[in-house]
Structure 1
Amino acid sequence: MSAGRGAHSERVVLITGAGSGIGAALARRLAAPGVALMLHARGADAPARARLAAVAAECEAQGATCATACADLAATGAAAQLVQTALARFSTLDQLIANAGHAQRQTLAALEPDTLASTFAAMPAAFAALVREAQPALTRSAHARVVAVSSFVAHRYRADAPFAATAAAKAALESLAKSAAAELAPHGVTVNCVAPGYTRKDKGPTPENAPAWARAAEATPLGHVAEPADIAELIAFLLSDAARHITGQTIHVDGGLTLG
């Protein structure tokens, strides 16, 4: 989409996994005049690019300046390249949201070493690379924020709902975020995690997966699963000046799923 930073842009925000779900909802939530968005999606095929372009077009219609990039952040050097692309387009970077990721049902007994390695590469390792590359720009910003999207699966373990690789990767992500929070606090940069519970996908339930969504709602104390916008609202708050004294936290948005 559009390249180059607008003359009146006040905040440059990089969002990974912005083609759908929470990332797309956050992009729409933040889009406004004075905001420049670097929107990333993992897939490089035509449908993925079209979805990302559609999100960017919506954000531009709300007055934001947008640029897009597609990359598999698990690939060596891809995360650093994404940050470099954002800096080349907009000259600076104020806020980073590491949202790209996935949840894969898998038992520990069935977990292959390659699967565990690829899951760690896509989430905690990519987060570390993003923060490392963005740190010089973030430390120069007056509104520097980093938010990583974790998951309830790193806090709720059930034999009938196993997420062995994803849970381990998200737990590592939260640990890295705390390390980043401690290291970047002297520079005024806040780093936090948001841990969603069951969150509805853009396509919504289908006849095939409707029973699974019904079970997810039943397992959630509030009785319903979250919408992507529910998670986006908390992230938007953590990016705001009102959250300037919050850092090193993991905040759950799960309808009470991790209460017990």
Structure 2
Amino acid sequence: GWYALHDFYAVDWPRWNALGVADQEAILLEATTLLETQAHPPDGHSACWTLLTQKGDLAFLHWRRRLEALRTEETALSRTRLRAYLRPTYSYLSVIELGTYELAGHAAAMLERKGVRAGSPGYDDALKGELERLARPRLFPEVPPGRYVCFYPMSKRRGEQVNWFDLPAEQRAELMRGHGAIGRKYAGQVVQVISGSVGLDDWEWGVTLFADDPLVFKKLVYEMRFDPASSRYALFGPFYVGIRFAPGALGDVMRGAVAPG
């Protein structure tokens, strides 16, 4: 799917506040123009959030088809005058992916309802086509419209006593089916985008949640903590929570004004 870059920054407020109003406005105009351009690329999607807590102030998300395009967006911000007043706090590189555990089951069920049974002539080709049909909109989505975002990286345990990757594929699939059942209870309240990062970054997956009610993040993650796929086998990194804003509202955000949802 899309390659994904999560890019987080803290504002150097003492230096920023020392600028005159005219300088601030000129810098914000340049940065706003960039963000508005990035929000409508020819191939991909971008969005921005203002972060809570001292983990940062601004978050930028870019989805692109190629790493070269992500690098272009990353360096574009570095060339603006605003970048001199930002300090990087975290970044994460990954690629949107789907768990094959459930997708294959959904595809097989769809074929079953169409009367195409496993083992019948042409079944393998039909299954491949159904998998591609189901996967494409989930591998190359638009950024969901939720006002709030929650991002965290995670990995599966690889200890001497508990090792996810030593489990048989069937057991992993069964555990993930139970895990997915919890997530489906929150359908319509939260959209989850999973991106894989094995070999790309320090953790194995990035999880990005989008919702119009931030309490849904807490409820969902809390309930999943009791599921064996998490309680026994998962390791979690830092959590980042933000409020989405339109690129044209960057000036308001830098002045401490966030429009109510």
Higher relative contact order (CA 8 A, sep 6+): 2
TM-score greater than 0.5 by the shorter chain: no
Larger Rg: 2
Considering fraction of residues, name the structure with more strand: 2
User: TM-score, length-normalised on structure 2?
Assistant: 0.28
